[in-house]
Amino acid sequence: MILIVIFFLLVFIIHSFIQIIQWLINQHRLYLIIKTIPGPKINFPLWGNINLLTGILRNQPIGLQSKAFINLMNDICEQYDPNNRIGLIRLWFGPFVPIIIITNANIAQKILNSKDHLDKATFYSLFRYAIKDGVFTSKTEKWLHQKREIQNHLKFKALQRYIANTERHLATLNERIDAVIDDMNKNGQIDDIKPILSTFVLDVLGENLFSTKFHSQSTGVEPKFVRSVNRMLELSYIPFLQPWSYYFNKSILVYLCNLAIFLKTMNYVNNFQYSVRKIILDRFKMKKFEQKSRKQLSLLDSMIESRISSMNPDRILKLNQIETQINTFVVAGHDTTTSALSWALYLLGHHPEQQQRLIKEIDDFLADLNLNGESITLLSMRQLKYLESVILESLRLYPSGPFIARRSRSEFKLNEQTTLPGNINYIIFIQHMHMNPEYFREPKKFYPERFLRCRKETEFEWVNHQAYLPFSGGHRMCLGREYGLMQQRMFLINIFRRYRVKSLDRFGDCQPRFNFLLSSAHFPIRFERRQPQSTPATPSFMTTVSRHSFL
Protein backbone atom coordinates (compact mmCIF):
# COMPACT_ATOMS: atom_id res chain seq x y z
CA MET A 1 0.00 0.00 0.00
CA ILE A 2 2.81 2.37 0.92
CA LEU A 3 4.59 1.52 -2.33
CA ILE A 4 1.46 2.37 -4.32
CA VAL A 5 1.16 5.73 -2.56
CA ILE A 6 4.84 6.46 -3.19
CA PHE A 7 4.46 5.46 -6.85
CA PHE A 8 1.52 7.80 -7.45
CA LEU A 9 3.29 10.56 -5.54
CA LEU A 10 6.36 10.17 -7.76
CA VAL A 11 4.17 10.21 -10.87
CA PHE A 12 2.51 13.39 -9.66
CA ILE A 13 5.86 15.05 -8.91
CA ILE A 14 7.35 14.05 -12.28
CA HIS A 15 4.23 15.20 -14.14
CA SER A 16 4.23 18.53 -12.28
CA PHE A 17 7.95 18.96 -12.96
CA ILE A 18 7.44 18.35 -16.69
CA GLN A 19 4.54 20.82 -16.76
CA ILE A 20 6.65 23.47 -15.04
CA ILE A 21 9.56 22.91 -17.46
CA GLN A 22 7.22 23.18 -20.45
CA TRP A 23 5.68 26.33 -19.03
CA LEU A 24 9.12 27.89 -18.44
CA ILE A 25 10.21 27.01 -21.98
CA ASN A 26 7.07 28.61 -23.42
CA GLN A 27 7.54 31.70 -21.26
CA HIS A 28 11.18 31.96 -22.33
CA ARG A 29 10.17 31.80 -25.99
CA LEU A 30 7.59 34.47 -25.33
CA TYR A 31 10.18 36.57 -23.53
CA LEU A 32 12.61 36.36 -26.46
CA ILE A 33 9.91 37.73 -28.77
CA ILE A 34 8.58 40.36 -26.39
CA LYS A 35 11.96 41.81 -25.48
CA THR A 36 12.51 42.95 -29.10
CA ILE A 37 9.70 45.50 -28.59
CA PRO A 38 10.76 48.82 -27.00
CA GLY A 39 10.13 49.06 -23.28
CA PRO A 40 11.71 49.39 -19.83
CA LYS A 41 14.96 47.53 -19.28
CA ILE A 42 14.68 43.94 -18.06
CA ASN A 43 17.57 42.96 -15.80
CA PHE A 44 16.12 39.68 -14.61
CA PRO A 45 13.44 37.95 -16.76
CA LEU A 46 11.77 36.23 -13.81
CA TRP A 47 11.22 39.61 -12.15
CA GLY A 48 10.83 41.78 -15.25
CA ASN A 49 9.33 45.23 -14.66
CA ILE A 50 7.37 44.34 -11.53
CA ASN A 51 9.48 46.87 -9.62
CA LEU A 52 7.57 49.63 -11.43
CA LEU A 53 4.30 48.39 -9.95
CA THR A 54 5.61 47.71 -6.47
CA GLY A 55 6.91 51.28 -6.46
CA ILE A 56 3.36 52.55 -7.03
CA LEU A 57 1.99 50.30 -4.28
CA ARG A 58 4.68 51.42 -1.88
CA ASN A 59 4.65 55.16 -2.57
CA GLN A 60 1.03 56.01 -3.44
CA PRO A 61 -2.13 55.94 -1.28
CA ILE A 62 -4.98 53.73 -2.49
CA GLY A 63 -6.99 56.51 -4.12
CA LEU A 64 -4.02 57.70 -6.21
CA GLN A 65 -2.56 54.37 -7.30
CA SER A 66 -4.73 54.15 -10.41
CA LYS A 67 -3.72 57.64 -11.55
CA ALA A 68 -0.08 56.81 -10.86
CA PHE A 69 -0.37 53.78 -13.15
CA ILE A 70 -1.83 55.92 -15.97
CA ASN A 71 1.00 58.42 -15.49
CA LEU A 72 3.49 55.54 -15.57
CA MET A 73 2.11 54.33 -18.91
CA ASN A 74 2.28 57.86 -20.35
CA ASP A 75 5.89 58.23 -19.21
CA ILE A 76 6.84 54.85 -20.67
CA CYS A 77 5.22 55.71 -24.01
CA GLU A 78 7.00 59.07 -24.18
CA GLN A 79 10.35 57.55 -23.23
CA TYR A 80 10.43 54.43 -25.39
CA ASP A 81 8.35 55.46 -28.41
CA PRO A 82 8.34 59.27 -28.34
CA ASN A 83 7.24 59.84 -31.94
CA ASN A 84 4.78 56.96 -32.05
CA ARG A 85 7.09 55.42 -34.65
CA ILE A 86 6.25 51.84 -33.72
CA GLY A 87 3.07 52.20 -31.66
CA LEU A 88 4.02 49.25 -29.42
CA ILE A 89 5.58 49.37 -25.94
CA ARG A 90 6.37 46.30 -23.91
CA LEU A 91 5.83 45.72 -20.20
CA TRP A 92 7.16 42.41 -18.90
CA PHE A 93 5.79 41.50 -15.50
CA GLY A 94 7.99 38.44 -15.13
CA PRO A 95 6.31 35.11 -15.82
CA PHE A 96 2.90 36.45 -14.93
CA VAL A 97 1.23 38.75 -17.45
CA PRO A 98 3.08 40.02 -20.54
CA ILE A 99 1.54 43.31 -21.65
CA ILE A 100 1.92 45.30 -24.85
CA ILE A 101 0.71 48.91 -24.82
CA ILE A 102 -0.82 50.00 -28.14
CA THR A 103 -0.59 53.69 -29.11
CA ASN A 104 -0.96 53.33 -32.88
CA ALA A 105 -4.51 53.76 -34.17
CA ASN A 106 -4.16 51.35 -37.08
CA ILE A 107 -2.79 48.58 -34.86
CA ALA A 108 -5.53 49.26 -32.31
CA GLN A 109 -8.21 48.88 -34.98
CA LYS A 110 -6.70 45.59 -36.16
CA ILE A 111 -6.92 44.21 -32.63
CA LEU A 112 -10.41 45.54 -31.93
CA ASN A 113 -11.76 44.15 -35.20
CA SER A 114 -10.09 40.76 -34.82
CA LYS A 115 -12.30 37.86 -33.73
CA ASP A 116 -9.24 36.33 -32.04
CA HIS A 117 -9.04 39.32 -29.66
CA LEU A 118 -12.56 39.45 -28.23
CA ASP A 119 -11.52 38.23 -24.77
CA LYS A 120 -11.02 40.94 -22.17
CA ALA A 121 -7.55 41.07 -20.62
CA THR A 122 -6.68 38.94 -17.61
CA PHE A 123 -7.08 41.71 -15.05
CA TYR A 124 -10.73 42.41 -15.99
CA SER A 125 -11.61 39.39 -13.87
CA LEU A 126 -10.87 41.58 -10.84
CA PHE A 127 -14.08 43.53 -11.58
CA ARG A 128 -16.28 40.53 -10.96
CA TYR A 129 -16.52 41.19 -7.22
CA ALA A 130 -18.24 44.49 -7.93
CA ILE A 131 -20.30 43.91 -11.08
CA LYS A 132 -20.15 40.15 -11.64
CA ASP A 133 -19.52 38.54 -15.00
CA GLY A 134 -21.55 40.79 -17.31
CA VAL A 135 -20.88 42.18 -20.78
CA PHE A 136 -18.12 44.38 -19.38
CA THR A 137 -15.94 41.51 -18.14
CA SER A 138 -17.14 38.21 -19.64
CA LYS A 139 -15.23 36.01 -22.04
CA THR A 140 -16.09 35.79 -25.72
CA GLU A 141 -18.58 32.92 -25.74
CA LYS A 142 -20.57 34.27 -22.80
CA TRP A 143 -20.39 37.81 -24.11
CA LEU A 144 -21.87 36.80 -27.49
CA HIS A 145 -24.85 35.24 -25.70
CA GLN A 146 -25.32 38.30 -23.49
CA LYS A 147 -25.03 40.67 -26.44
CA ARG A 148 -27.83 38.92 -28.34
CA GLU A 149 -30.12 39.32 -25.31
CA ILE A 150 -29.32 42.95 -24.58
CA GLN A 151 -28.55 44.81 -27.79
CA ASN A 152 -32.16 45.13 -29.01
CA HIS A 153 -33.08 47.00 -25.80
CA LEU A 154 -30.40 49.66 -26.38
CA LYS A 155 -30.72 50.33 -30.07
CA PHE A 156 -31.88 53.72 -31.34
CA LYS A 157 -35.50 52.65 -31.81
CA ALA A 158 -35.74 51.15 -28.31
CA LEU A 159 -34.55 54.36 -26.64
CA GLN A 160 -37.97 55.96 -27.15
CA ARG A 161 -39.30 54.35 -23.98
CA TYR A 162 -36.67 56.04 -21.79
CA ILE A 163 -37.29 59.63 -22.87
CA ALA A 164 -40.25 60.36 -20.59
CA ASN A 165 -38.36 59.25 -17.48
CA THR A 166 -35.36 61.39 -18.40
CA GLU A 167 -37.63 64.36 -19.05
CA ARG A 168 -39.25 64.12 -15.60
CA HIS A 169 -35.92 63.94 -13.82
CA LEU A 170 -34.59 66.86 -15.84
CA ALA A 171 -37.50 68.90 -14.45
CA THR A 172 -36.46 67.90 -10.92
CA LEU A 173 -32.86 68.82 -11.72
CA ASN A 174 -34.00 72.26 -12.90
CA GLU A 175 -35.88 72.79 -9.63
CA ARG A 176 -32.72 71.98 -7.66
CA ILE A 177 -30.63 74.40 -9.73
CA ASP A 178 -33.30 77.13 -9.47
CA ALA A 179 -33.33 76.72 -5.69
CA VAL A 180 -29.57 77.30 -5.59
CA ILE A 181 -29.91 80.38 -7.80
CA ASP A 182 -32.70 81.80 -5.61
CA ASP A 183 -30.70 81.19 -2.43
CA MET A 184 -29.13 84.58 -1.61
CA ASN A 185 -26.27 82.90 0.24
CA LYS A 186 -25.35 80.66 -2.69
CA ASN A 187 -26.25 82.94 -5.62
CA GLY A 188 -26.21 80.03 -8.05
CA GLN A 189 -22.91 78.61 -6.83
CA ILE A 190 -22.50 74.87 -6.24
CA ASP A 191 -19.25 73.87 -4.56
CA ASP A 192 -19.18 70.43 -6.16
CA ILE A 193 -21.33 69.56 -9.17
CA LYS A 194 -20.64 65.84 -9.04
CA PRO A 195 -23.29 64.82 -6.43
CA ILE A 196 -25.95 66.82 -8.31
CA LEU A 197 -25.21 64.99 -11.55
CA SER A 198 -24.71 61.61 -9.90
CA THR A 199 -28.13 61.62 -8.25
CA PHE A 200 -29.81 62.74 -11.48
CA VAL A 201 -28.16 59.97 -13.52
CA LEU A 202 -28.97 57.37 -10.88
CA ASP A 203 -32.66 58.29 -10.73
CA VAL A 204 -32.94 58.10 -14.51
CA LEU A 205 -31.19 54.73 -14.58
CA GLY A 206 -33.41 53.42 -11.79
CA GLU A 207 -36.60 54.12 -13.69
CA ASN A 208 -35.24 53.11 -17.07
CA LEU A 209 -33.74 49.83 -15.89
CA PHE A 210 -35.94 48.79 -12.95
CA SER A 211 -39.05 50.98 -13.14
CA THR A 212 -37.90 51.81 -9.61
CA LYS A 213 -37.64 55.23 -7.98
CA PHE A 214 -34.41 55.77 -6.01
CA HIS A 215 -35.43 59.34 -4.97
CA SER A 216 -31.76 60.35 -4.96
CA GLN A 217 -32.47 63.86 -6.22
CA SER A 218 -35.11 64.50 -3.58
CA THR A 219 -32.72 63.55 -0.78
CA GLY A 220 -29.75 65.21 -2.48
CA VAL A 221 -27.45 62.44 -1.31
CA GLU A 222 -25.83 59.65 -3.28
CA PRO A 223 -26.89 56.23 -1.98
CA LYS A 224 -24.27 54.30 -0.05
CA PHE A 225 -23.93 51.66 -2.73
CA VAL A 226 -22.76 54.27 -5.28
CA ARG A 227 -19.95 55.42 -3.01
CA SER A 228 -19.18 51.82 -2.13
CA VAL A 229 -18.92 50.69 -5.73
CA ASN A 230 -16.51 53.53 -6.47
CA ARG A 231 -14.46 52.43 -3.49
CA MET A 232 -14.63 48.86 -4.71
CA LEU A 233 -13.25 49.85 -8.11
CA GLU A 234 -10.41 51.71 -6.43
CA LEU A 235 -9.57 48.59 -4.43
CA SER A 236 -9.53 46.57 -7.64
CA TYR A 237 -6.32 48.38 -8.56
CA ILE A 238 -4.46 46.72 -5.69
CA PRO A 239 -4.44 43.22 -7.20
CA PHE A 240 -4.09 44.78 -10.67
CA LEU A 241 -0.73 46.14 -9.54
CA GLN A 242 0.15 42.69 -8.17
CA PRO A 243 0.28 40.49 -11.31
CA TRP A 244 0.86 37.32 -9.30
CA SER A 245 -2.62 37.73 -7.83
CA TYR A 246 -4.26 37.21 -11.25
CA TYR A 247 -3.86 33.49 -10.72
CA PHE A 248 -5.88 33.79 -7.50
CA ASN A 249 -8.53 36.27 -8.64
CA LYS A 250 -11.34 34.04 -7.37
CA SER A 251 -10.03 34.25 -3.84
CA ILE A 252 -10.73 37.02 -1.37
CA LEU A 253 -7.14 36.55 -0.19
CA VAL A 254 -5.96 39.07 -2.78
CA TYR A 255 -7.67 41.77 -0.72
CA LEU A 256 -6.17 40.81 2.63
CA CYS A 257 -4.00 43.93 2.69
CA ASN A 258 -7.22 45.97 2.85
CA LEU A 259 -9.50 43.36 4.34
CA ALA A 260 -11.51 45.64 6.63
CA ILE A 261 -12.24 48.17 3.88
CA PHE A 262 -12.99 45.42 1.40
CA LEU A 263 -15.46 43.62 3.65
CA LYS A 264 -17.27 46.84 4.49
CA THR A 265 -17.49 47.78 0.83
CA MET A 266 -18.59 44.30 -0.19
CA ASN A 267 -21.35 44.51 2.42
CA TYR A 268 -22.79 47.61 0.70
CA VAL A 269 -22.40 46.05 -2.74
CA ASN A 270 -24.03 42.81 -1.64
CA ASN A 271 -26.92 44.73 -0.08
CA PHE A 272 -27.46 46.53 -3.37
CA GLN A 273 -27.26 43.29 -5.34
CA TYR A 274 -29.76 41.76 -2.93
CA SER A 275 -32.12 44.67 -3.58
CA VAL A 276 -31.72 44.21 -7.32
CA ARG A 277 -32.40 40.50 -6.98
CA LYS A 278 -35.55 41.14 -4.96
CA ILE A 279 -36.87 43.61 -7.54
CA ILE A 280 -36.25 41.11 -10.33
CA LEU A 281 -37.98 38.27 -8.47
CA ASP A 282 -40.96 40.39 -7.48
CA ARG A 283 -41.49 41.69 -10.99
CA PHE A 284 -41.04 38.25 -12.45
CA LYS A 285 -43.59 36.65 -10.12
CA MET A 286 -46.18 39.40 -10.40
CA LYS A 287 -45.65 39.86 -14.16
CA LYS A 288 -46.47 43.53 -13.76
CA PHE A 289 -45.27 44.30 -17.23
CA GLU A 290 -48.18 42.33 -18.72
CA GLN A 291 -50.44 45.21 -17.72
CA LYS A 292 -48.30 47.76 -19.55
CA SER A 293 -47.98 48.90 -23.10
CA ARG A 294 -44.81 47.58 -24.71
CA LYS A 295 -43.63 51.16 -25.17
CA GLN A 296 -43.56 51.61 -21.39
CA LEU A 297 -41.43 48.58 -20.61
CA SER A 298 -38.19 49.18 -18.73
CA LEU A 299 -35.06 47.30 -19.71
CA LEU A 300 -35.64 44.84 -16.86
CA ASP A 301 -39.23 44.22 -17.97
CA SER A 302 -38.07 43.69 -21.53
CA MET A 303 -35.45 41.16 -20.46
CA ILE A 304 -37.95 39.23 -18.33
CA GLU A 305 -40.51 39.34 -21.11
CA SER A 306 -37.95 37.95 -23.54
CA ARG A 307 -37.21 35.15 -21.11
CA ILE A 308 -40.87 34.16 -20.74
CA SER A 309 -42.14 34.70 -24.26
CA SER A 310 -39.23 33.10 -26.11
CA MET A 311 -39.52 29.40 -26.87
CA ASN A 312 -35.90 29.25 -28.00
CA PRO A 313 -33.69 28.08 -25.08
CA ASP A 314 -30.69 29.93 -26.52
CA ARG A 315 -32.40 33.26 -25.77
CA ILE A 316 -33.38 32.46 -22.20
CA LEU A 317 -31.43 34.13 -19.43
CA LYS A 318 -31.66 32.88 -15.88
CA LEU A 319 -32.68 35.41 -13.27
CA ASN A 320 -29.15 35.59 -11.88
CA GLN A 321 -27.90 36.38 -15.38
CA ILE A 322 -30.41 39.21 -15.65
CA GLU A 323 -29.17 40.44 -12.28
CA THR A 324 -25.62 40.40 -13.60
CA GLN A 325 -26.56 42.57 -16.56
CA ILE A 326 -28.50 45.05 -14.43
CA ASN A 327 -25.52 45.35 -12.07
CA THR A 328 -23.28 46.08 -15.03
CA PHE A 329 -25.55 48.80 -16.40
CA VAL A 330 -25.99 50.49 -13.03
CA VAL A 331 -22.31 50.45 -12.06
CA ALA A 332 -20.68 51.08 -15.44
CA GLY A 333 -23.58 53.10 -16.89
CA HIS A 334 -23.91 55.36 -13.87
CA ASP A 335 -20.19 56.15 -13.62
CA THR A 336 -19.60 56.74 -17.32
CA THR A 337 -22.66 58.96 -17.83
CA THR A 338 -21.98 61.04 -14.71
CA SER A 339 -18.37 61.42 -15.77
CA ALA A 340 -19.30 62.52 -19.30
CA LEU A 341 -21.84 65.12 -18.09
CA SER A 342 -19.52 66.57 -15.45
CA TRP A 343 -16.54 67.01 -17.79
CA ALA A 344 -18.74 68.54 -20.50
CA LEU A 345 -19.99 71.15 -18.01
CA TYR A 346 -16.45 71.72 -16.76
CA LEU A 347 -15.14 72.43 -20.25
CA LEU A 348 -18.06 74.63 -21.32
CA GLY A 349 -17.86 76.53 -18.04
CA HIS A 350 -14.27 77.45 -18.89
CA HIS A 351 -14.93 78.28 -22.56
CA PRO A 352 -17.66 80.96 -22.87
CA GLU A 353 -17.26 81.34 -26.65
CA GLN A 354 -18.03 77.68 -27.29
CA GLN A 355 -20.83 77.85 -24.73
CA GLN A 356 -22.40 80.81 -26.54
CA ARG A 357 -22.24 79.03 -29.89
CA LEU A 358 -23.95 76.00 -28.36
CA ILE A 359 -26.66 78.21 -26.81
CA LYS A 360 -27.36 79.85 -30.17
CA GLU A 361 -27.67 76.50 -31.91
CA ILE A 362 -30.09 75.21 -29.26
CA ASP A 363 -32.19 78.40 -29.42
CA ASP A 364 -32.41 78.25 -33.21
CA PHE A 365 -33.30 74.57 -33.07
CA LEU A 366 -36.16 75.07 -30.59
CA ALA A 367 -37.40 78.17 -32.44
CA ASP A 368 -37.67 76.15 -35.66
CA LEU A 369 -39.65 73.49 -33.82
CA ASN A 370 -42.04 76.14 -32.49
CA LEU A 371 -42.44 77.64 -35.94
CA ASN A 372 -43.16 74.31 -37.64
CA GLY A 373 -45.16 72.77 -34.80
CA GLU A 374 -42.81 69.79 -34.62
CA SER A 375 -41.73 67.62 -31.70
CA ILE A 376 -38.25 67.04 -30.34
CA THR A 377 -37.29 63.53 -31.35
CA LEU A 378 -34.21 61.38 -30.99
CA LEU A 379 -33.63 61.90 -34.68
CA SER A 380 -34.15 65.66 -34.68
CA MET A 381 -31.64 66.12 -31.84
CA ARG A 382 -29.00 64.84 -34.22
CA GLN A 383 -29.49 67.99 -36.28
CA LEU A 384 -27.59 69.83 -33.53
CA LYS A 385 -24.17 69.40 -35.10
CA TYR A 386 -22.33 71.68 -32.71
CA LEU A 387 -23.90 69.95 -29.71
CA GLU A 388 -22.65 66.67 -31.15
CA SER A 389 -19.19 68.17 -31.60
CA VAL A 390 -19.13 69.40 -28.00
CA ILE A 391 -19.98 65.91 -26.74
CA LEU A 392 -17.38 64.27 -28.97
CA GLU A 393 -14.67 66.75 -28.00
CA SER A 394 -15.31 66.43 -24.26
CA LEU A 395 -15.13 62.64 -24.61
CA ARG A 396 -11.88 63.00 -26.53
CA LEU A 397 -10.28 65.03 -23.75
CA TYR A 398 -11.82 62.96 -20.96
CA PRO A 399 -12.71 59.47 -22.27
CA SER A 400 -14.73 57.40 -19.81
CA GLY A 401 -12.18 54.60 -20.09
CA PRO A 402 -8.54 55.75 -20.35
CA PHE A 403 -7.68 52.38 -21.81
CA ILE A 404 -9.26 49.13 -22.91
CA ALA A 405 -7.51 45.78 -22.90
CA ARG A 406 -7.80 42.53 -24.81
CA ARG A 407 -6.20 39.11 -24.56
CA SER A 408 -5.15 37.25 -27.69
CA ARG A 409 -6.02 33.61 -28.24
CA SER A 410 -3.67 33.12 -31.17
CA GLU A 411 -0.73 34.72 -32.93
CA PHE A 412 -1.29 38.23 -34.22
CA LYS A 413 0.33 39.22 -37.52
CA LEU A 414 0.97 42.95 -37.57
CA ASN A 415 2.72 42.96 -40.93
CA GLU A 416 4.98 40.79 -43.07
CA GLN A 417 7.89 41.29 -40.68
CA THR A 418 6.19 41.19 -37.26
CA THR A 419 4.07 38.46 -35.69
CA LEU A 420 3.19 38.59 -32.01
CA PRO A 421 2.54 35.38 -30.04
CA GLY A 422 -0.76 34.39 -28.46
CA ASN A 423 -1.80 34.66 -24.81
CA ILE A 424 -0.67 38.28 -24.49
CA ASN A 425 -2.57 41.16 -22.93
CA TYR A 426 -2.90 44.25 -25.12
CA ILE A 427 -3.63 47.62 -23.52
CA ILE A 428 -5.06 50.03 -26.09
CA PHE A 429 -4.11 53.37 -24.57
CA ILE A 430 -7.07 55.53 -25.62
CA GLN A 431 -6.13 58.57 -23.57
CA HIS A 432 -2.66 58.66 -25.12
CA MET A 433 -4.03 58.39 -28.67
CA HIS A 434 -6.60 61.12 -28.03
CA MET A 435 -3.78 63.45 -26.97
CA ASN A 436 -1.50 62.59 -29.89
CA PRO A 437 -0.94 65.61 -32.22
CA GLU A 438 -0.44 63.15 -35.06
CA TYR A 439 -4.16 62.38 -34.82
CA PHE A 440 -5.59 65.63 -33.40
CA ARG A 441 -3.98 69.02 -33.87
CA GLU A 442 -3.40 70.95 -30.66
CA PRO A 443 -4.75 67.97 -28.72
CA LYS A 444 -4.84 69.72 -25.33
CA LYS A 445 -7.14 72.42 -26.66
CA PHE A 446 -10.92 72.21 -26.20
CA TYR A 447 -12.02 72.82 -29.77
CA PRO A 448 -15.34 71.17 -30.71
CA GLU A 449 -15.08 72.61 -34.23
CA ARG A 450 -12.51 69.96 -35.11
CA PHE A 451 -15.35 67.45 -35.33
CA LEU A 452 -17.48 69.46 -37.76
CA ARG A 453 -17.47 67.75 -41.11
CA CYS A 454 -17.61 70.95 -43.17
CA ARG A 455 -14.00 72.10 -43.67
CA LYS A 456 -15.11 75.72 -44.09
CA GLU A 457 -16.14 75.67 -40.42
CA THR A 458 -12.72 74.81 -39.01
CA GLU A 459 -9.00 74.79 -39.64
CA PHE A 460 -8.72 71.66 -37.52
CA GLU A 461 -9.43 68.36 -39.20
CA TRP A 462 -10.51 65.12 -37.65
CA VAL A 463 -7.27 63.59 -38.89
CA ASN A 464 -7.86 59.90 -38.20
CA HIS A 465 -11.23 58.69 -36.97
CA GLN A 466 -9.64 55.34 -36.10
CA ALA A 467 -7.84 57.06 -33.23
CA TYR A 468 -11.13 58.17 -31.62
CA LEU A 469 -12.28 55.44 -29.25
CA PRO A 470 -14.33 56.85 -26.33
CA PHE A 471 -16.75 53.92 -26.61
CA SER A 472 -14.10 51.34 -27.48
CA GLY A 473 -14.43 49.94 -30.99
CA GLY A 474 -14.74 46.90 -33.18
CA HIS A 475 -16.84 43.90 -32.20
CA ARG A 476 -16.99 44.77 -28.47
CA MET A 477 -17.92 48.41 -28.80
CA CYS A 478 -19.95 49.67 -25.84
CA LEU A 479 -23.53 48.42 -26.13
CA GLY A 480 -24.82 51.45 -24.22
CA ARG A 481 -23.29 53.99 -26.62
CA GLU A 482 -26.58 55.31 -28.02
CA TYR A 483 -28.19 55.41 -24.58
CA GLY A 484 -25.29 57.44 -23.19
CA LEU A 485 -25.33 59.87 -26.11
CA MET A 486 -29.09 60.32 -25.75
CA GLN A 487 -28.66 61.22 -22.06
CA GLN A 488 -25.94 63.74 -22.87
CA ARG A 489 -27.92 65.39 -25.67
CA MET A 490 -31.06 65.78 -23.55
CA PHE A 491 -29.08 67.01 -20.53
CA LEU A 492 -27.11 69.66 -22.41
CA ILE A 493 -30.16 70.90 -24.35
CA ASN A 494 -32.04 71.25 -21.08
CA ILE A 495 -29.23 73.04 -19.22
CA PHE A 496 -28.24 75.55 -21.89
CA ARG A 497 -31.79 76.39 -22.87
CA ARG A 498 -32.25 77.71 -19.36
CA TYR A 499 -28.84 78.61 -17.92
CA ARG A 500 -25.32 79.81 -18.48
CA VAL A 501 -22.60 78.12 -16.48
CA LYS A 502 -19.21 79.25 -15.24
CA SER A 503 -16.58 76.95 -13.77
CA LEU A 504 -15.11 78.70 -10.74
CA ASP A 505 -11.76 76.95 -10.49
CA ARG A 506 -8.70 77.63 -12.61
CA PHE A 507 -8.72 75.64 -15.84
CA GLY A 508 -6.57 72.56 -15.41
CA ASP A 509 -6.76 72.49 -11.61
CA CYS A 510 -9.41 69.78 -11.73
CA GLN A 511 -7.34 66.69 -12.44
CA PRO A 512 -9.07 63.43 -13.43
CA ARG A 513 -8.77 60.34 -11.28
CA PHE A 514 -9.22 56.79 -12.43
CA ASN A 515 -10.56 53.52 -11.06
CA PHE A 516 -10.45 51.63 -14.36
CA LEU A 517 -13.01 54.23 -15.42
CA LEU A 518 -12.51 57.97 -15.49
CA SER A 519 -13.99 59.49 -12.35
CA SER A 520 -16.39 62.42 -12.50
CA ALA A 521 -15.13 65.97 -12.24
CA HIS A 522 -15.32 67.58 -8.79
CA PHE A 523 -15.31 71.36 -9.26
CA PRO A 524 -17.25 74.49 -8.20
CA ILE A 525 -19.67 75.94 -10.72
CA ARG A 526 -22.11 78.86 -10.95
CA PHE A 527 -25.45 78.71 -12.75
CA GLU A 528 -27.11 81.86 -14.08
CA ARG A 529 -30.61 82.02 -15.55
CA ARG A 530 -30.60 83.13 -19.12
CA GLN A 531 -34.12 84.59 -18.99
CA PRO A 532 -36.45 85.51 -16.12
CA GLN A 533 -39.08 82.87 -15.41
CA SER A 534 -41.85 85.47 -15.81
CA THR A 535 -41.07 86.34 -19.44
CA PRO A 536 -43.72 84.59 -21.53
CA ALA A 537 -42.08 85.38 -24.88
CA THR A 538 -39.13 83.15 -24.08
CA PRO A 539 -40.49 80.02 -22.42
CA SER A 540 -38.14 77.76 -20.55
CA PHE A 541 -36.88 74.62 -22.16
CA MET A 542 -39.12 72.39 -20.06
CA THR A 543 -42.12 74.53 -21.09
CA THR A 544 -41.07 74.11 -24.69
CA VAL A 545 -40.76 70.41 -24.08
CA SER A 546 -44.30 70.30 -22.74
CA ARG A 547 -45.47 71.42 -26.20
CA HIS A 548 -42.76 69.59 -28.10
CA SER A 549 -41.96 66.58 -25.97
CA PHE A 550 -39.19 64.11 -26.72
CA LEU A 551 -40.80 61.43 -28.88
Residue 454 known to bind ligand: no
Interacting residues of 319 by C-beta distance below 8 A, sequence separation 6+: 277, 280, 281, 284
Write out the H or E segment, with its range, that includes residue 177: helix 163-182
Alpha-carbon Rg for the chain, nearest whole angstrom, is 25
Interacting residues of 173 by C-beta distance below 8 A, sequence separation 6+: 196, 200, 217, 494
CB-based burial, 241-270: b 16+ in 10 Å, e otherwise = bbbebbeebeeeebbeebeeebeebbebbe
Count Cβ atoms within 10 A of the Cβ of residue 62 and give its class: 0-12 exposed, 13-18 middle, 19 or more buried: middle
Q: Return d(Cα 87, Cα 101) in angstroms, integer.
A: 8
CB atoms within 10 A of CB 164: 16
Label the pairing between strands 404-407 and 425-428: antiparallel
Spatial CA neighbour of 254 closest among 407, 67, 68, 125? 125
Interacting residues of 386 by C-beta distance below 8 A, sequence separation 6+: 357, 358, 361, 448, 452
Q: For 156-288, where are the E strands, in sequence order?
A: 189-190
Q: Return d(Cα 535, Cα 405) in angstroms, integer.
A: 53
Length of the chain equals 551
Q: Which residues are annotated as a binding site for heme?
A: 478
Q: Which residues are annotated as a binding site?
A: 478
